[in-house]
Chains A and B, each alone.
Chain A
Amino acid sequence: MEMRRITTPLSDDVVGELKAGDKILLSGTIYTARDTAHKRFIDTLRAGGSLPFEIKGQVIYYCGPSPVLPGRAIGAAGPTTSGRMDVYTPTLLSLGLKGMIGKGKRSQAVKDAIVKHKAIYFGATGGAGALLSKAVLSYEVVAYEELGPEAVARLVVKDLPLFVINDIAGNDLYEMGMSGYRR
């Protein structure tokens, strides 16, 4: 399959060209955040505070890596199930979040927000944490260190292999893929 290389931060033009089913290789800076970090983001915003990093144009990776291995940038680093973040996601998209990396289905509210705010949702191969870790060049905790594996970290990645799941036209790779093989 043909692969396209893209780099963060993501522009509207690049996001607009991506279609559900495209295989891409992502490079640049991304941020890890999962369940508890998302809850804190929203609690912070509600209390009038600001997020621990500038979210505009950025990509969040739903990932809680295993501990950094000796001589490596990170431990295993695959995606967690994105759906648990759905209740928090539309708010982050309205603040300029451009991309999300995870695995699994999103709610209709998230898919609608992806279309509205011109964002993109990528799938990384769940359960391929060893393979995906090799695309990570650096790992640096930037917030909520006390959360351990759930801390927010800045990752620099090179050619992280991803599929486009939900695009700005409202397409969904899971629905497209399943309908072709349902008997």
Chain B
Amino acid sequence: MREVQADTVRDTVERLFIEANYDLPEDVIGRFKDALGEEESSVGREIIEELLLNARIARDERIPICQDTGLAILFMEIGQGVHITGGDLEEAVAEGVRRAYKKGYLRKSACDPFTRTNTGDNTPPILHVRIVPGERIRLIAMPKGGGSENYSEVRMLTPSDGAEGVKRFVLEMVQKAGPNPCPPITVGIGIGGNFETSALLSKEALMLPFGKRNDDPYLRDLELSILGEVNKLGIGPEGYGGSVTALDLHIKSRPCHIASLPVAVNIQCHAHRIKEASI
């Protein structure tokens, strides 16, 4: 049994959300650079150059990458040999978010659904916890903006819809979103499980590294096939037309009920902000 102080979790959460909002991951920057070579439209290339410049300004001059610094989504994998002590874990995470959004000059975007009154400190965070073997805690912070999240959906397809049905659903979603979710986007597709697990799988799919293909050859081919079709839509960077509409597309899948084919599509904007740490 290893003891971890709740305060350590709090401080790590604070650091991760600030870093995520100021320092775009190197692999995202690398993917932008590759996309410059793939984009056929000169306006599209100009936009990608702007995104590279934006990331550099954010990092060097300490300005958030985007004003929408997101709802605070945190994935935690807690080793079953860890004992969290000295406080309430959920409160420690919330306090870490509160401090990050205050000290980091990050926008508070959480509000009441109907009165639209801002909660004032970007809490409550969205916390996903999984218990895993070991004595470590892994934290992945993924602040995510509203513009791309708004173009996400869960749909209960029927088994006869199959892979073609999944493909049609994804293309419909990307087409409908058009310029709105800040392309070039990344598409996360969750297939299987039930209603809520498909949504979670689609978000986890977004957390996979660029270029990582599914280990299952059938799903690997489906990823490449849908990605190819998405990039034929012509939406392009910022929707001004072009050949790079999506930077990548990932599928995560698990078994589902014999009566069902749950599919979730989660769209991520080009500013794919994600940071992780281990305690």
Binding site for B on A (CB under 8 A): 1, 35-36, 39, 63-70, 72, 75-78, 80-81, 83, 103-105, 123, 125-131, 133-134, 147-150, 161, 163, 173-174, 176-183
Contact of B43 among A1, A68, A81, A83 (CB under 8 A): A1
Contact at B105–A131, with CB atoms within 8 Å? Answer: no
Contact at A174–B105, with CB atoms within 8 Å? Answer: no
State how many angstroms separate the Cβ of B229 from the closest Cβ of chain A. Answer: 9
Contact at B63–A129, with CB atoms within 8 Å? Answer: yes
State how many angstroms separate the Cβ of A83 from the closest Cβ of chain B. Answer: 6
Contact at B106–A67, with CB atoms within 8 Å? Answer: yes
Contact at A133–B240, with CB atoms within 8 Å? Answer: no
Complex alpha-carbon distance, A163 and B182, angstroms: 15
Which of A104, A127, A129, A182: most chain B Cβ within 10 A?
A127
Binding-face segment, B54-62, B86-94, B202-210, B216-224: B54-62
| List of B residues within 8 angstroms of A123 by Cβ | 179, 238, 240
Contact at B147–A81, with CB atoms within 8 Å? Answer: yes
How many of chain B's residues touch chain A, expressed as a range? 35 or more
Which chain A residue shows the least CB distance to B42?
A: A1
Contact at A80–B147, with CB atoms within 8 Å? Answer: yes
Does residue B69 face the partner (Cβ distance < 8 Å to A)?
yes
For chains A and B in complex, what number of residue pairs have CB atoms within 8 angstroms?
170
| List of A residues within 8 angstroms of B105 by Cβ | 66-70, 75
Does residue B77 face the partner (Cβ distance < 8 Å to A)?
no
Contact of B68 among A80, A125, A130, A183 (CB under 8 A): A80
Binding site for A on B (CB under 8 A): 40-43, 46-47, 50-51, 53-55, 57-58, 61-69, 105-109, 116, 118, 120, 145-147, 150, 178-182, 232-236, 238-243, 269-271
Contact at A183–B150, with CB atoms within 8 Å? Answer: no
List 7 A-B pairs, Cβ < 8 Å.
A65-B107, A67-B106, A80-B146, A130-B65, A131-B57, A133-B63, A163-B43
| List of B residues within 8 angstroms of A147 by Cβ | 118
Contact at B107–A75, with CB atoms within 8 Å? Answer: yes
Known: A105-B180, A180-B234, A183-B232. A75 touches B241 (CB 8 A): no
Known: A129-B54, A148-B120. A75 touches B63 (CB 8 A): yes
Contact at A127–B271, with CB atoms within 8 Å? Answer: yes
State how many angstroms separate the Cβ of B41 from the closest Cβ of chain A. Answer: 6
| List of A residues within 8 angstroms of B64 by Cβ | 66, 75-76, 129-130
Complex alpha-carbon distance, A131 and B182, angstroms: 15
Contact at B116–A127, with CB atoms within 8 Å? Answer: no
Contact of A131 among B54, B181, B270 (CB under 8 A): B54
Which of B54, B62, B232, B269: most chain A Cβ within 10 A?
B54
Contact of A173 among B54, B107, B120, B240 (CB under 8 A): B240
State how many angstroms separate the Cβ of B225 from the closest Cβ of chain A. Answer: 14
Contact at A181–B41, with CB atoms within 8 Å? Answer: yes
State how many angstroms separate the Cβ of B70 from the closest Cβ of chain A. Answer: 11
Complex alpha-carbon distance, A129 and B236, angstroms: 19
Contact at A178–B269, with CB atoms within 8 Å? Answer: no
Which chain A residue shows the least CB distance to B145?
A: A127
Contact at B116–A36, with CB atoms within 8 Å? Answer: yes
With A36-B116, A131-B50, A181-B235 known, 10 other A-B pairs at CB within 8 A are: A69-B105, A75-B107, A78-B66, A129-B67, A174-B179, A177-B43, A178-B236, A181-B236, A182-B233, A182-B234
Which chain B residue shows the least CB distance to A133?
A: B63
Known: A104-B180, A177-B41. A182 touches B63 (CB 8 A): no
Which chain A residue shows the least CB distance to B240?
A: A177
State how many angstroms separate the Cβ of B189 from the closest Cβ of chain A. Answer: 21
* A-B interface, 10 closest residue pairs, ranked by CB to CB distance from nearest: A177-B241, A182-B234, A181-B234, A104-B180, A183-B232, A126-B182, A130-B63, A76-B67, A130-B58, A66-B107
State how many angstroms separate the Cβ of A141 from the closest Cβ of chain B. Answer: 14
Contact at B107–A149, with CB atoms within 8 Å? Answer: yes
Contact at B57–A134, with CB atoms within 8 Å? Answer: yes
Complex alpha-carbon distance, A180 and B233, angstroms: 10
Contact at B66–A127, with CB atoms within 8 Å? Answer: yes
Contact of B40 among A67, A70, A181 (CB under 8 A): A181
State how many angstroms separate the Cβ of A179 from the closest Cβ of chain B. Answer: 7
